[in-house]
Amino acid sequence: MRVGIEVGGTFTDFVRIGPEGVRVVKVPSVPSSPDVGAFNALVKSGVAITEILDLAHGSTVATNAVLERKGFATALITTRGFRDVLALQRHNRTRIYDLEYQKPDPVVSRADSFEISERVLSDGTVLQPLDEQQVVEALIPALKQGGYEAVGVCLLNSYVNPAHEVALRDLIKAHLPDLHVTLSSEVTREFREYERASTVTVSAYVQPVIDRYIARFEDRLAEEGFSGRFSVMQSNGGRLPAQAIRDSAVTALLSGPAAGVMGAARQAARSGYGNLITLDIGGTSTDVCVVTDGKPELTNEFTIDGLPIRIPVVDINTVGAGGGSIVWVDDGGMLRVGPHSAGADPGPACYGRGGDKPTITDAHVIRQTIRPEAFLGGEMPIHPDASRAVFAPIAARFGMSVEQAADSAIELANANIVRAIQLISTERGKDPRDYVLVPYGGAGPLHAAQVAEDLGVGTIVVPPNAGVLSAYGLIASDFVQFESLTRRAPVDDNAGDLVREVFESMKARAVERFEHLALGGDVKLDFIADMRFVGQAFEVPVTLSEDDVRQVDRELISKMFGQAHEKIYFFGADSDKPIEFVSFRLGITAELGELPLLQEERSYRVPRGEIELFDRRRAWQGTLLSRSDLAEGETLSGPLLLEDPTSTLFVPAGWQAVTDEQQNLVLKRMA
């Protein structure tokens, strides 16, 4: 029996796949205690914990700790003269026309940053040994007096030679054994001092949070007799045993969204679709991602609350357009949606928990694309009068009916989503019309058709139990770990030998680490060289297979780089400019083996009948039915409202829907 539990901002999703089939549960999240919400889902499911062999978990705990600044007291230790690295940051401004722009606040203040005497040169040579006496006599007493729970260590050029960082950690742990110490050389061995310092401080900041959260979770599982494998999702699209995550908390920052992308890729692949644009609309936000040939795009850097994190992550773009996103009017009199959200508490007005602002969920209730009696399978009461009451002032402001105001809000949310997708597709040389749209999350299938129309996408693939697909993605994901290494070198006649040397050394470390985690056996390796023309500021990733590594030489690697550069910047394939290696990344994967089969839960039924709904500025007569009542191969034309226990699928006029052999619901736009 396999179980996935994903804690989102509004709901906690549960999926069990075992001999008895599929069981799905969706319960409200408990923001103050996410583990309570997870166990609420377990209890509601009725699954015996002792029977679970594989339990995978994903949550927003690490993300919320950073966004809400609820981590533990953390210090930064750096080389003398570099104490201000977190405050100086970069000279760029993310909002160039904002006269009141301020740089993002780091999670560690200047007062909590400490310097030590040591110096390693850029080639790894030790210029000045670590001053151990200063560490023992000055630094350790200061750390003890400061009451710190965690320490991030980022010494200059330690990505080349980490000896001083390792020695410093040993000295600190010898005197303060309970202090969490995180080394930049173990989190990201790449250059760029500010990005490396930011990454290690965020990692140290959330380390005690994740460590204690997982410890509580493991203790509760042990009390209930759990003896299976407990793993946690990472932001790179793979999971790791819980103990490994406790040692590398920063990798869990975007675990929930990454799980959804992997679940979408796995399920769509069953129907033969490899090129996807995933559309995850939850209660708080919308996450979109491009998947090419069955593999999600990865990036080696992202930002959270304006702070750069330099680790491999699934390249997800997020926009504030979830079900709880607040609809409002700005100072210029324009209608706006998000980014602020009503969240899980109090939530949208229709929840009846004190919410007094209009949201996208309220808009759907007004349009009848969400039926109050069917929300969460009919288990959660919804108050449509409250939705109409909070939208009434907006309708009056613009001189329209409440239905028209709600419909306008949804159109605006869809426009925001389309723009988010264009940023990761069109602007990166990928035509959305060459992809299929895969919506999931509680609200993804409600918005999918209009988003697809605006993008020119003609096919939509909606997985079964789309509302809990992220929880399915947890148990459908492989075990993955990445490591990186900066190694600047020219692409010359020695290029092939350099690539093979770096690959073999990184491979040996990765395999040893996997064996230590009891994840050995057959593994798959992904090797990426980050390269650039000499003089460029940023790199282009070049992916090499093991066959490529064995036969690579100057000519081959130059050709591969030129093609990759041409794809992004429309030049480079025929250039004779000098090229250089900057960094290397290696990913190691222990593949899952047999993929758990996601199927529609058929216990939920609504009577088939007629329904009146409002869409695109007019009222429509449509057909209402349970998604599970649509027989395989049966084709129906919109307008349709298809319901399951976790989400509602809206098929507007001009679209047809058919269920395929894999229980994916495929929507095609009619000519």
CB proximity list for 262: less than 8 A, separation 6 or greater: 237, 296, 473, 476, 477
Q: pLDDT digit string (tens) for 542-557?
A: 999 999 999 999 999 9
Residue ending a domain, among 537, 558, 590, is 590
On whether residue 80 sits in a domain, the answer given is yes
Residue at 161 is within a domain: yes
- φ, ψ dihedrals at 461, nearest 5°: -120, 115
Residue 532, domain CATH: 3.30.1490
Classify residue 2: in a domain, yes or no: no
Cβ neighbours of residue 507 closer than 8 Å, sequence gap 6 or more: 525, 586, 588
Residue that finishes a domain, picked among 590, 625, 650: 590
pLDDT digit string (tens) for 164-187? Answer: 999 999 999 999 999 999 999 999
Q: What is the pLDDT of residue 520?
A: 66
Residue 362: how many other CB atoms lie within 10 Å: 32
With a CB cutoff of 8 Å and minimum separation 6, the contacts of 663 are 464, 598, 599, 600, 632
Q: Does residue 349 lie within any of the structural domains? A: no
- Whole-number Å distance between alpha carbons of 90 and 39: 43
Q: What's the residue count for the chain?
A: 671
Alpha-carbon torsion 370, 372, 377, 379, what sign?
Answer: positive
Sign of the C-alpha dihedral, residues 268, 271, 596, 11?
positive
Nearest by Cα to 647 from 601, 588, 592, 591: 601
3-state secondary structure 92-154: CCCCCCCCCCCCCCCCCCHHHEEEECCEECCCCCEEECCCHHHHHHHHHHHHHHHCCCEEEEE
Per-residue pLDDT of 635-666, as tens digits, reads 999 899 998 888 899 999 999 999 998 989 99
pLDDT of residue 602 exceeding 70, the answer is no
Closest CA to 410 of 368, 447, 456, 384: 447
Name the least confident of 88-97, 436-445, 571-580. 88-97
Residue whose structure tokens are 């559309």: 279
Phi then psi for residue 199, to 5 deg, are -65, -45
Bridge partner residues of 359 (DSSP): 326
Residue 254 in any domain: the answer is: no
Distance separating alpha carbons of residues 194 and 114, to the nearest angstrom: 15
Distances (CA, A) of 68 to 232, 340, 396, 501, 609: 22, 14, 36, 43, 46
Judged against a pLDDT cut of 80, whether residue 53 lies above it is answered with yes
Q: What is the DSSP string of 69-85?
A: T-S--EEEEEETT-TTH
pLDDT at 601: 67
Last residue of a domain, one of 162, 179, 205: 205
Q: List pLDDT tens digits, range 348-365.
A: 999 998 889 999 999 999
Structural domain boundaries enclosing 113: 70-205
Structure tokens at 81: 């003269």
CB 356 within 8 Å of CB 390: yes
Q: How would residue 97 be classed by pLDDT, with cut points 50, 70 and 90? A: confident
pLDDT > 80? residue 603: no
Residue 603 lies in a domain: no
In sequence order, the β-bridge partners of residue 658 are 635, 666
Tell me: the pLDDT tens digits for 301-331?
888 888 899 888 898 888 878 888 899 999 8
Q: What is the CA radius of gyration of the chain?
A: 26
**Tokens 């395989």 correspond to what residue?**
632
| Higher-confidence position of 30 and 650 | 650
Could you give the CA distance from residue 190 to residue 2 in angstroms, rounded to a whole number? 37
Contacting residues for 79 by C-beta, under 8 A, at least 6 apart: 115, 116, 118, 119, 155, 156
Q: 438 has which bridge partners?
A: 278
Residue 108, CA atoms < 13 Å, CB-side half-sphere:
34
CB 180 within 8 A of CB 149: yes
Percentage of the chain surpassing pLDDT 90? 58
Phi, psi of 14 (to 5 degrees): -130, 130
The candidate with the shortest Cα–Cα distance to 252, out of 16, 70, 57, is 57
Q: How confident is the model at residue 134 (pLDDT cuts 50, 70, 90)?
A: very high
Of the candidates 470, 517, 522, 475, the one whose C-alpha atom is nearest the C-alpha of residue 54 is 475
Instruction: Specify if 33 maps to a domain.
Output: no
Find where tokens 């349970």 sit: 626
Number of domains in the chain: 2
CA 471 – CA 26 distance, rounded (Å): 10
30 domain residue, yes or no: no
Provide the mean pLDDT of the chain: 90
Is residue 353 helix, strand or coil? coil
* Spatial CB neighbours of 203, under 8 Å, sequence gap ≥ 6: 152, 182, 187, 248, 249, 250
Q: Which residues contact 637 (CB under 8 A, 6 or more apart)?
A: 651, 653, 655, 656, 657, 670
Question: Which pLDDT score is estimated for 366?
Answer: 95
Share of the chain above pLDDT 70, in %: 99
Q: Determine the Cα–Cα distance for residues 517 and 607; give it in Å rounded to an integer.
A: 51
Q: Is 173 exposed, middle or buried (0-12, 13-18, 19+ CB in 10 A)?
A: middle
What pLDDT is recorded for position 282? 83
